A and B are shown apart, each in its own frame.
Chain A
Amino acid sequence: MNLLLRIATILSFLGHYPSYILGYLIETIIVIIFATVVIAGMVYIFRKYMARVQMRIGPNRVGKFGIMQVMADGLKLIQKESIMPKGRDDLAYKLAPILIFFGLIMGFIFIPYGPLAWFGDLTVSHSDVSLIIIFALIAIMPIGEILSGISSNNKYAVIGTLRGIAKDISFEVPMMLSILAIVMAASAKVSNPLDINGVVVAQSIPFAILEPLGFFVFIISMAARASYSPFDMGESDSELVTGNTTEYSGLRFGFFYLGLFGTIFLGSMMISTIYLGGYLGPFTNYMGFIWLLIKTLILVIISLTIWLSMPRVRIDKFINFGWKYLLPIAFVNLVIVGFLVLGGIA
Protein backbone atom coordinates (compact mmCIF):
# COMPACT_ATOMS: atom_id res chain seq x y z
CA MET A 1 0.00 0.00 0.00
CA ASN A 2 1.31 3.44 -0.80
CA LEU A 3 0.12 7.02 -0.74
CA LEU A 4 -0.90 7.02 -4.41
CA LEU A 5 -3.12 3.96 -3.92
CA ARG A 6 -4.72 5.53 -0.86
CA ILE A 7 -5.56 8.72 -2.76
CA ALA A 8 -6.76 6.75 -5.78
CA THR A 9 -9.01 4.61 -3.56
CA ILE A 10 -10.57 7.72 -2.05
CA LEU A 11 -11.13 9.16 -5.57
CA SER A 12 -12.30 5.85 -7.08
CA PHE A 13 -15.81 7.22 -7.78
CA LEU A 14 -14.26 9.15 -10.70
CA GLY A 15 -13.31 5.99 -12.53
CA HIS A 16 -10.00 4.16 -12.81
CA TYR A 17 -7.80 6.46 -14.92
CA PRO A 18 -9.05 9.87 -13.71
CA SER A 19 -8.58 8.81 -10.10
CA TYR A 20 -4.97 7.79 -10.73
CA ILE A 21 -4.18 10.94 -12.72
CA LEU A 22 -5.70 13.12 -10.01
CA GLY A 23 -3.91 11.02 -7.41
CA TYR A 24 -0.55 11.69 -9.02
CA LEU A 25 -1.37 15.40 -9.22
CA ILE A 26 -2.33 15.57 -5.53
CA GLU A 27 0.74 13.58 -4.54
CA THR A 28 3.01 15.94 -6.47
CA ILE A 29 1.34 18.96 -4.91
CA ILE A 30 1.85 17.40 -1.47
CA VAL A 31 5.56 16.98 -2.21
CA ILE A 32 5.89 20.58 -3.41
CA ILE A 33 4.14 21.79 -0.25
CA PHE A 34 6.37 19.52 1.84
CA ALA A 35 9.48 20.90 0.15
CA THR A 36 8.37 24.51 0.64
CA VAL A 37 7.44 23.98 4.30
CA VAL A 38 10.69 22.15 4.95
CA ILE A 39 12.74 24.92 3.34
CA ALA A 40 10.92 27.56 5.38
CA GLY A 41 11.55 25.46 8.48
CA MET A 42 15.22 25.22 7.50
CA VAL A 43 15.50 29.01 7.32
CA TYR A 44 13.89 29.30 10.76
CA ILE A 45 16.08 26.56 12.25
CA PHE A 46 19.18 28.18 10.77
CA ARG A 47 18.38 31.63 12.12
CA LYS A 48 17.41 30.36 15.55
CA TYR A 49 20.39 27.99 15.77
CA MET A 50 22.86 30.64 14.63
CA ALA A 51 21.44 33.09 17.16
CA ARG A 52 21.59 30.65 20.06
CA VAL A 53 25.14 29.59 19.19
CA GLN A 54 26.17 33.25 19.10
CA MET A 55 24.39 33.81 22.46
CA ARG A 56 21.64 35.90 20.91
CA ILE A 57 17.91 35.18 20.99
CA GLY A 58 17.09 35.24 17.30
CA PRO A 59 13.72 35.93 15.70
CA ASN A 60 11.08 36.20 18.44
CA ARG A 61 8.74 39.01 17.38
CA VAL A 62 6.50 37.60 14.62
CA GLY A 63 4.30 34.86 16.05
CA LYS A 64 5.14 32.61 18.98
CA PHE A 65 8.93 32.20 19.20
CA GLY A 66 9.20 34.04 15.86
CA ILE A 67 7.86 31.11 13.87
CA MET A 68 6.07 33.39 11.40
CA GLN A 69 9.26 35.38 10.73
CA VAL A 70 9.97 33.34 7.59
CA MET A 71 6.46 34.05 6.27
CA ALA A 72 6.97 37.76 6.98
CA ASP A 73 10.29 37.71 5.14
CA GLY A 74 8.69 35.91 2.20
CA LEU A 75 5.88 38.47 2.05
CA LYS A 76 8.46 41.24 2.13
CA LEU A 77 10.42 39.66 -0.74
CA ILE A 78 7.22 39.27 -2.81
CA GLN A 79 6.27 42.90 -2.29
CA LYS A 80 9.68 44.26 -3.22
CA GLU A 81 10.42 45.69 -6.61
CA SER A 82 12.53 43.44 -8.82
CA ILE A 83 15.32 45.71 -10.01
CA MET A 84 17.01 44.41 -13.15
CA PRO A 85 20.44 45.48 -14.40
CA LYS A 86 20.98 47.24 -17.71
CA GLY A 87 22.53 45.21 -20.52
CA ARG A 88 21.45 41.88 -19.09
CA ASP A 89 20.75 38.75 -21.10
CA ASP A 90 17.05 38.84 -20.39
CA LEU A 91 15.98 35.22 -20.94
CA ALA A 92 18.92 33.70 -19.07
CA TYR A 93 18.55 36.23 -16.28
CA LYS A 94 14.91 35.31 -15.73
CA LEU A 95 15.43 31.57 -16.26
CA ALA A 96 18.23 31.11 -13.71
CA PRO A 97 16.24 31.29 -10.41
CA ILE A 98 13.53 29.08 -11.87
CA LEU A 99 16.11 26.46 -12.90
CA ILE A 100 17.63 26.44 -9.41
CA PHE A 101 14.26 25.96 -7.75
CA PHE A 102 13.17 23.40 -10.34
CA GLY A 103 16.24 21.23 -9.80
CA LEU A 104 15.69 21.37 -6.06
CA ILE A 105 12.00 20.44 -6.12
CA MET A 106 12.57 17.65 -8.66
CA GLY A 107 15.23 16.25 -6.36
CA PHE A 108 12.61 15.92 -3.62
CA ILE A 109 10.40 13.75 -5.82
CA PHE A 110 12.77 10.79 -6.11
CA ILE A 111 13.79 10.50 -2.46
CA PRO A 112 12.38 7.29 -0.88
CA TYR A 113 10.47 8.69 2.07
CA GLY A 114 9.53 5.31 3.46
CA PRO A 115 6.28 4.14 5.04
CA LEU A 116 4.29 6.11 7.58
CA ALA A 117 1.46 4.46 9.58
CA TRP A 118 -1.84 4.42 7.64
CA PHE A 119 -0.56 6.28 4.59
CA GLY A 120 1.81 3.52 3.53
CA ASP A 121 4.84 4.20 1.36
CA LEU A 122 5.23 7.94 0.83
CA THR A 123 7.70 7.75 -2.08
CA VAL A 124 6.30 9.79 -4.96
CA SER A 125 8.06 8.50 -8.04
CA HIS A 126 9.67 5.11 -8.55
CA SER A 127 12.24 4.38 -11.19
CA ASP A 128 14.81 1.66 -11.83
CA VAL A 129 17.54 4.30 -12.20
CA SER A 130 16.40 6.88 -9.65
CA LEU A 131 19.88 7.13 -8.12
CA ILE A 132 21.19 8.43 -11.45
CA ILE A 133 18.13 10.59 -12.08
CA ILE A 134 18.46 12.34 -8.74
CA PHE A 135 22.09 13.29 -9.40
CA ALA A 136 21.18 14.42 -12.90
CA LEU A 137 18.44 16.63 -11.46
CA ILE A 138 20.72 18.12 -8.83
CA ALA A 139 23.20 18.85 -11.62
CA ILE A 140 20.60 21.25 -13.09
CA MET A 141 21.21 23.69 -10.26
CA PRO A 142 24.79 24.70 -11.27
CA ILE A 143 23.39 25.55 -14.71
CA GLY A 144 21.11 28.09 -13.06
CA GLU A 145 24.09 29.41 -11.16
CA ILE A 146 26.12 29.80 -14.36
CA LEU A 147 23.24 31.46 -16.23
CA SER A 148 22.65 33.93 -13.42
CA GLY A 149 26.33 34.79 -13.32
CA ILE A 150 26.98 35.39 -16.99
CA SER A 151 23.65 37.05 -17.77
CA SER A 152 23.58 39.78 -15.13
CA ASN A 153 26.32 41.97 -16.68
CA ASN A 154 28.31 42.35 -13.49
CA LYS A 155 31.96 41.64 -12.78
CA TYR A 156 31.32 40.25 -9.30
CA ALA A 157 28.70 37.86 -10.65
CA VAL A 158 31.10 36.58 -13.31
CA ILE A 159 33.99 36.08 -10.87
CA GLY A 160 31.69 34.36 -8.39
CA THR A 161 30.37 32.07 -11.08
CA LEU A 162 33.88 31.18 -12.24
CA ARG A 163 34.79 30.24 -8.68
CA GLY A 164 31.56 28.31 -8.29
CA ILE A 165 32.21 26.29 -11.46
CA ALA A 166 35.80 25.54 -10.42
CA LYS A 167 34.48 24.30 -7.08
CA ASP A 168 31.71 22.24 -8.70
CA ILE A 169 34.06 20.49 -11.10
CA SER A 170 36.56 19.60 -8.39
CA PHE A 171 34.06 17.81 -6.14
CA GLU A 172 31.62 16.28 -8.67
CA VAL A 173 34.03 13.56 -9.83
CA PRO A 174 34.88 12.21 -6.34
CA MET A 175 31.17 12.39 -5.45
CA MET A 176 30.16 10.24 -8.39
CA LEU A 177 33.01 7.80 -7.62
CA SER A 178 31.72 7.39 -4.07
CA ILE A 179 28.25 6.74 -5.52
CA LEU A 180 29.78 4.12 -7.81
CA ALA A 181 31.15 2.36 -4.73
CA ILE A 182 27.64 2.47 -3.24
CA VAL A 183 26.18 0.87 -6.35
CA MET A 184 28.85 -1.84 -6.22
CA ALA A 185 28.10 -2.61 -2.59
CA ALA A 186 24.35 -2.60 -3.19
CA SER A 187 24.60 -4.85 -6.27
CA ALA A 188 25.87 -7.67 -4.06
CA LYS A 189 22.55 -7.75 -2.21
CA VAL A 190 19.73 -6.45 -4.40
CA SER A 191 18.84 -6.80 -8.07
CA ASN A 192 18.17 -3.08 -8.59
CA PRO A 193 21.27 -1.28 -7.23
CA LEU A 194 20.63 1.83 -9.36
CA ASP A 195 17.26 2.31 -7.70
CA ILE A 196 17.70 4.54 -4.63
CA ASN A 197 15.08 2.41 -2.85
CA GLY A 198 17.18 -0.69 -3.58
CA VAL A 199 20.20 1.05 -2.07
CA VAL A 200 18.21 1.66 1.11
CA VAL A 201 16.96 -1.94 1.26
CA ALA A 202 20.53 -3.24 0.82
CA GLN A 203 21.69 -1.49 4.00
CA SER A 204 21.34 -4.11 6.69
CA ILE A 205 24.67 -2.64 7.74
CA PRO A 206 24.63 1.10 6.97
CA PHE A 207 27.07 1.93 4.18
CA ALA A 208 28.58 4.64 6.40
CA ILE A 209 30.10 1.87 8.54
CA LEU A 210 31.03 -0.28 5.54
CA GLU A 211 32.80 2.50 3.62
CA PRO A 212 33.73 5.42 5.92
CA LEU A 213 36.03 6.95 3.29
CA GLY A 214 33.17 7.23 0.81
CA PHE A 215 30.99 8.68 3.55
CA PHE A 216 33.60 11.36 4.22
CA VAL A 217 33.90 12.22 0.52
CA PHE A 218 30.13 12.36 0.11
CA ILE A 219 29.58 14.61 3.15
CA ILE A 220 32.21 17.05 1.86
CA SER A 221 30.65 16.92 -1.61
CA MET A 222 27.17 17.64 -0.28
CA ALA A 223 28.50 20.55 1.79
CA ALA A 224 30.22 21.93 -1.32
CA ARG A 225 27.06 21.37 -3.39
CA ALA A 226 25.01 23.47 -0.99
CA SER A 227 27.94 25.96 -0.92
CA TYR A 228 27.75 27.04 2.69
CA SER A 229 30.50 28.48 4.76
CA PRO A 230 33.73 26.57 4.31
CA PHE A 231 32.87 26.19 0.61
CA ASP A 232 31.05 29.45 -0.18
CA MET A 233 33.82 30.78 -2.41
CA GLY A 234 31.26 31.31 -5.17
CA GLU A 235 29.40 33.70 -2.92
CA SER A 236 32.24 35.14 -0.80
CA ASP A 237 30.28 38.10 0.49
CA SER A 238 33.34 39.95 1.79
CA GLU A 239 35.08 40.34 -1.56
CA LEU A 240 32.46 39.60 -4.28
CA VAL A 241 29.28 41.24 -3.10
CA THR A 242 27.31 37.99 -3.14
CA GLY A 243 28.74 36.36 -6.27
CA ASN A 244 26.24 35.29 -8.90
CA THR A 245 23.20 36.64 -7.01
CA THR A 246 24.57 40.18 -6.82
CA GLU A 247 22.15 41.69 -9.34
CA TYR A 248 19.06 39.84 -8.16
CA SER A 249 16.41 41.33 -5.93
CA GLY A 250 12.91 40.63 -4.72
CA LEU A 251 11.37 37.24 -5.32
CA ARG A 252 14.13 36.15 -7.73
CA PHE A 253 16.67 36.59 -4.95
CA GLY A 254 14.30 34.69 -2.68
CA PHE A 255 14.51 31.69 -5.02
CA PHE A 256 18.30 31.62 -4.71
CA TYR A 257 18.01 31.95 -0.94
CA LEU A 258 15.52 29.10 -0.74
CA GLY A 259 17.71 27.09 -3.10
CA LEU A 260 20.63 27.32 -0.66
CA PHE A 261 18.62 26.08 2.32
CA GLY A 262 16.74 23.50 0.28
CA THR A 263 20.01 22.07 -0.96
CA ILE A 264 21.24 21.66 2.61
CA PHE A 265 18.09 19.72 3.49
CA LEU A 266 18.12 17.68 0.30
CA GLY A 267 21.82 16.90 0.77
CA SER A 268 21.23 15.78 4.35
CA MET A 269 18.31 13.64 3.19
CA MET A 270 20.48 12.04 0.49
CA ILE A 271 23.30 11.31 2.92
CA SER A 272 20.83 9.67 5.28
CA THR A 273 19.21 7.59 2.52
CA ILE A 274 22.38 6.53 0.77
CA TYR A 275 24.75 6.09 3.72
CA LEU A 276 22.73 5.88 6.94
CA GLY A 277 19.97 3.48 6.00
CA GLY A 278 17.28 6.05 5.18
CA TYR A 279 13.94 4.93 6.53
CA LEU A 280 15.32 1.73 8.06
CA GLY A 281 15.10 1.44 11.84
CA PRO A 282 12.93 -0.15 14.51
CA PHE A 283 9.24 -0.40 13.46
CA THR A 284 10.13 0.57 9.89
CA ASN A 285 6.70 -0.32 8.54
CA TYR A 286 4.97 2.21 10.75
CA MET A 287 7.43 5.05 11.24
CA GLY A 288 10.05 4.77 8.51
CA PHE A 289 9.44 8.38 7.48
CA ILE A 290 10.05 9.52 11.06
CA TRP A 291 13.41 7.72 11.09
CA LEU A 292 14.38 9.47 7.85
CA LEU A 293 13.39 12.83 9.30
CA ILE A 294 15.34 12.23 12.53
CA LYS A 295 18.49 11.24 10.66
CA THR A 296 18.10 14.20 8.31
CA LEU A 297 17.60 16.67 11.15
CA ILE A 298 20.74 15.46 12.95
CA LEU A 299 22.70 15.87 9.71
CA VAL A 300 21.17 19.33 9.19
CA ILE A 301 22.34 20.41 12.65
CA ILE A 302 25.82 19.04 11.89
CA SER A 303 25.83 20.93 8.58
CA LEU A 304 24.80 24.16 10.28
CA THR A 305 27.51 23.66 12.90
CA ILE A 306 30.06 23.25 10.12
CA TRP A 307 28.68 26.38 8.50
CA LEU A 308 28.94 28.44 11.69
CA SER A 309 32.33 27.22 12.88
CA MET A 310 34.56 27.29 9.81
CA PRO A 311 36.02 30.14 7.77
CA ARG A 312 35.96 30.19 3.99
CA VAL A 313 38.53 28.03 2.21
CA ARG A 314 40.56 29.79 -0.47
CA ILE A 315 39.40 28.67 -3.94
CA ASP A 316 42.75 27.25 -5.09
CA LYS A 317 43.09 25.34 -1.82
CA PHE A 318 39.71 23.73 -2.34
CA ILE A 319 40.56 22.78 -5.93
CA ASN A 320 43.81 21.25 -4.65
CA PHE A 321 41.86 19.42 -1.98
CA GLY A 322 39.32 18.16 -4.50
CA TRP A 323 41.74 16.82 -7.06
CA LYS A 324 44.69 15.78 -4.88
CA TYR A 325 42.91 14.38 -1.81
CA LEU A 326 39.20 13.70 -2.44
CA LEU A 327 39.72 11.98 -5.78
CA PRO A 328 42.45 9.55 -4.56
CA ILE A 329 40.40 8.86 -1.42
CA ALA A 330 37.39 8.07 -3.59
CA PHE A 331 39.49 5.68 -5.71
CA VAL A 332 40.91 3.97 -2.61
CA ASN A 333 37.37 3.63 -1.31
CA LEU A 334 36.30 2.09 -4.61
CA VAL A 335 39.09 -0.51 -4.42
CA ILE A 336 38.32 -1.35 -0.79
CA VAL A 337 34.62 -1.78 -1.55
CA GLY A 338 35.54 -3.96 -4.53
CA PHE A 339 37.52 -6.27 -2.25
CA LEU A 340 34.70 -6.29 0.31
CA VAL A 341 32.16 -7.25 -2.34
CA LEU A 342 34.45 -9.97 -3.76
CA GLY A 343 35.06 -11.32 -0.27
CA GLY A 344 31.36 -11.47 0.35
CA ILE A 345 31.48 -9.18 3.39
CA ALA A 346 29.27 -6.46 1.95
Chain B
Amino acid sequence: MIEIKEVEEPRRVPILGSVEGMFTVFKHLFGKPVTVQYPEKPSVLPDRFRFRIYLSTDDCVGCTLCEQVCPNLTITMVPLEKENQRNKRKIYPSVNFGTCTVCRNCEEICPTDAIYLKEVFETARTRNNFFYSPEDLEKHEAEVKR
Protein backbone atom coordinates (compact mmCIF):
# COMPACT_ATOMS: atom_id res chain seq x y z
CA MET B 1 0.00 0.00 0.00
CA ILE B 2 1.50 3.25 -1.11
CA GLU B 3 0.78 6.21 1.04
CA ILE B 4 0.29 9.43 -0.83
CA LYS B 5 1.47 12.34 1.20
CA GLU B 6 -0.42 15.57 0.79
CA VAL B 7 2.24 18.22 0.26
CA GLU B 8 1.11 21.54 1.56
CA GLU B 9 1.87 24.20 -0.99
CA PRO B 10 3.02 27.52 0.39
CA ARG B 11 0.28 30.14 0.32
CA ARG B 12 0.85 32.53 -2.55
CA VAL B 13 -0.12 36.19 -2.60
CA PRO B 14 -1.90 36.83 -5.93
CA ILE B 15 -0.06 39.75 -7.52
CA LEU B 16 3.30 39.31 -5.77
CA GLY B 17 4.45 36.61 -8.22
CA SER B 18 3.87 38.87 -11.22
CA VAL B 19 5.78 41.71 -9.55
CA GLU B 20 8.63 39.30 -8.81
CA GLY B 21 8.69 38.29 -12.50
CA MET B 22 8.72 41.94 -13.56
CA PHE B 23 11.65 42.59 -11.23
CA THR B 24 13.56 39.63 -12.68
CA VAL B 25 12.99 40.95 -16.19
CA PHE B 26 14.10 44.43 -15.16
CA LYS B 27 17.29 43.09 -13.56
CA HIS B 28 18.45 41.71 -16.92
CA LEU B 29 18.62 45.28 -18.22
CA PHE B 30 21.98 45.66 -16.51
CA GLY B 31 23.39 42.35 -17.77
CA LYS B 32 26.00 42.07 -20.51
CA PRO B 33 24.56 41.23 -23.94
CA VAL B 34 25.55 37.84 -25.29
CA THR B 35 25.49 38.99 -28.93
CA VAL B 36 28.92 39.12 -30.61
CA GLN B 37 29.30 41.91 -33.16
CA TYR B 38 31.38 39.58 -35.33
CA PRO B 39 32.76 41.40 -38.37
CA GLU B 40 33.67 44.53 -36.37
CA LYS B 41 34.94 42.75 -33.29
CA PRO B 42 36.92 39.50 -33.65
CA SER B 43 35.10 36.47 -32.38
CA VAL B 44 36.54 34.60 -29.41
CA LEU B 45 37.55 31.10 -30.52
CA PRO B 46 38.39 28.09 -28.33
CA ASP B 47 42.11 27.33 -27.98
CA ARG B 48 42.04 24.12 -30.00
CA PHE B 49 39.79 25.37 -32.79
CA ARG B 50 41.24 24.33 -36.19
CA PHE B 51 39.93 24.86 -39.70
CA ARG B 52 42.22 25.89 -42.56
CA ILE B 53 44.78 23.37 -43.91
CA TYR B 54 48.34 24.64 -44.38
CA LEU B 55 51.17 22.87 -46.20
CA SER B 56 54.91 23.28 -45.89
CA THR B 57 56.21 22.27 -49.36
CA ASP B 58 59.80 22.09 -48.03
CA ASP B 59 58.84 19.28 -45.66
CA CYS B 60 56.48 17.36 -47.96
CA VAL B 61 57.92 14.05 -49.25
CA GLY B 62 55.05 13.27 -51.63
CA CYS B 63 54.15 9.99 -49.88
CA THR B 64 50.41 10.36 -50.83
CA LEU B 65 49.36 9.12 -47.38
CA CYS B 66 47.13 12.17 -46.91
CA GLU B 67 45.39 11.47 -50.21
CA GLN B 68 44.80 7.86 -49.18
CA VAL B 69 43.44 8.69 -45.73
CA CYS B 70 41.17 11.53 -46.86
CA PRO B 71 37.59 10.21 -46.45
CA ASN B 72 35.87 12.23 -49.22
CA LEU B 73 38.54 12.85 -51.87
CA THR B 74 39.19 16.37 -50.72
CA ILE B 75 42.96 15.97 -51.14
CA THR B 76 44.38 15.10 -54.55
CA MET B 77 48.06 15.01 -55.43
CA VAL B 78 49.12 17.40 -58.19
CA PRO B 79 52.54 17.74 -59.85
CA LEU B 80 54.58 20.83 -58.96
CA GLU B 81 58.10 21.79 -60.11
CA LYS B 82 59.98 22.67 -56.95
CA GLU B 83 63.54 22.16 -55.70
CA ASN B 84 63.04 19.56 -52.97
CA GLN B 85 65.53 16.69 -52.60
CA ARG B 86 63.23 14.55 -50.48
CA ASN B 87 60.25 14.78 -52.85
CA LYS B 88 61.50 12.65 -55.75
CA ARG B 89 58.17 12.28 -57.57
CA LYS B 90 57.49 16.05 -57.37
CA ILE B 91 53.85 15.65 -56.31
CA TYR B 92 52.16 17.70 -53.60
CA PRO B 93 48.64 17.65 -52.08
CA SER B 94 45.99 20.11 -53.22
CA VAL B 95 42.82 20.70 -51.22
CA ASN B 96 39.24 21.39 -52.31
CA PHE B 97 37.76 23.11 -49.26
CA GLY B 98 34.25 22.75 -50.64
CA THR B 99 34.22 19.13 -49.50
CA CYS B 100 36.62 19.21 -46.52
CA THR B 101 35.02 18.07 -43.25
CA VAL B 102 38.03 19.09 -41.11
CA CYS B 103 38.48 15.52 -39.82
CA ARG B 104 42.24 16.20 -39.38
CA ASN B 105 43.20 12.70 -40.55
CA CYS B 106 45.74 14.20 -42.97
CA GLU B 107 47.42 16.16 -40.19
CA GLU B 108 47.55 13.04 -38.03
CA ILE B 109 48.99 10.73 -40.66
CA CYS B 110 51.57 13.06 -42.19
CA PRO B 111 54.99 11.50 -41.40
CA THR B 112 56.90 14.80 -41.69
CA ASP B 113 54.26 17.13 -40.22
CA ALA B 114 54.12 18.98 -43.55
CA ILE B 115 50.32 19.30 -43.33
CA TYR B 116 48.99 21.20 -40.34
CA LEU B 117 45.75 23.02 -39.51
CA LYS B 118 45.30 26.48 -38.03
CA GLU B 119 42.40 28.42 -36.48
CA VAL B 120 41.88 30.59 -39.61
CA PHE B 121 38.28 30.10 -40.75
CA GLU B 122 37.39 33.08 -42.95
CA THR B 123 37.74 31.28 -46.27
CA ALA B 124 34.75 32.75 -48.09
CA ARG B 125 35.24 33.30 -51.80
CA THR B 126 33.53 35.22 -54.55
CA ARG B 127 34.08 32.51 -57.13
CA ASN B 128 32.37 29.17 -56.63
CA ASN B 129 35.73 27.45 -56.38
CA PHE B 130 37.31 26.36 -53.14
CA PHE B 131 40.33 24.68 -54.75
CA TYR B 132 43.69 25.40 -53.08
CA SER B 133 46.83 24.54 -55.05
CA PRO B 134 49.95 23.54 -53.07
CA GLU B 135 51.32 27.09 -53.40
CA ASP B 136 48.03 28.50 -52.07
CA LEU B 137 48.19 26.15 -49.11
CA GLU B 138 51.57 27.61 -48.19
CA LYS B 139 50.37 31.22 -48.14
CA HIS B 140 48.44 33.17 -45.53
CA GLU B 141 44.71 33.34 -46.11
CA ALA B 142 44.87 37.06 -46.99
CA GLU B 143 47.41 36.39 -49.79
CA VAL B 144 45.43 33.63 -51.47
CA LYS B 145 43.78 34.78 -54.70
CA ARG B 146 40.03 34.58 -54.22
Contacts and interface: CB of A to CB of B under 8 A. Distances in A.
B33 to A, nearest CB: 5
Q: Is chain B's binding surface mostly helix, strand, loop or mixed?
A: helix
Contacts of B24: 309
A309 B33 contact: no
Most buried by A among B22, B24, B25: B25
A302 B31 CA distance: 18
A129 interface: no
Contact of A309 (B22, B31, B32, B37): B22
B22 A53 contact: no
Contacts of B31: 52, 55
Contacts of B32: 55
Contacts of B25: 53, 305, 308-309
Interface string B1-44: 00000000000000000100110111011011111010000000
A53 B29 contact: yes
Given A305-B26, A309-B24, A56 B35 contact: yes
A332 interface: no
Interface string A7-50: 00000000000000000000000000000000000000000010
A254 B45 CA distance: 42
A51 B29 CA distance: 9
Interface residues of A, number: 14
Contacts of A305: 22, 25-26
Nearest to A311: B21
B37 A57 contact: yes
B51 to A, nearest CB: 27
B103 to A, nearest CB: 35
Contacts of A56: 33-35
B98 to A, nearest CB: 31
A53 B26 CA distance: 7
A238 interface: no
B28 A54 contact: yes
B29 A309 contact: no
A56 B35 CA distance: 6
A49 B30 CA distance: 11
Contacts of B37: 57
A205 interface: no
Contacts of B34: 55-56
A52 B25 CA distance: 10
B18 A55 contact: no
A55 B30 CA distance: 9
A342 interface: no
B27 to A, nearest CB: 9
A54 B27 CA distance: 10
Nearest to A308: B25
A117 interface: no
B26 A52 contact: no
B19 to A, nearest CB: 9
Interface of B: 18, 21-22, 24-26, 28-29, 31-35, 37
Interface of A: 49, 51-57, 302, 305-306, 308-310
9 contacts: A52-B28, A52-B29, A53-B26, A55-B33, A55-B34, A56-B35, A57-B33, A57-B35, A309-B24
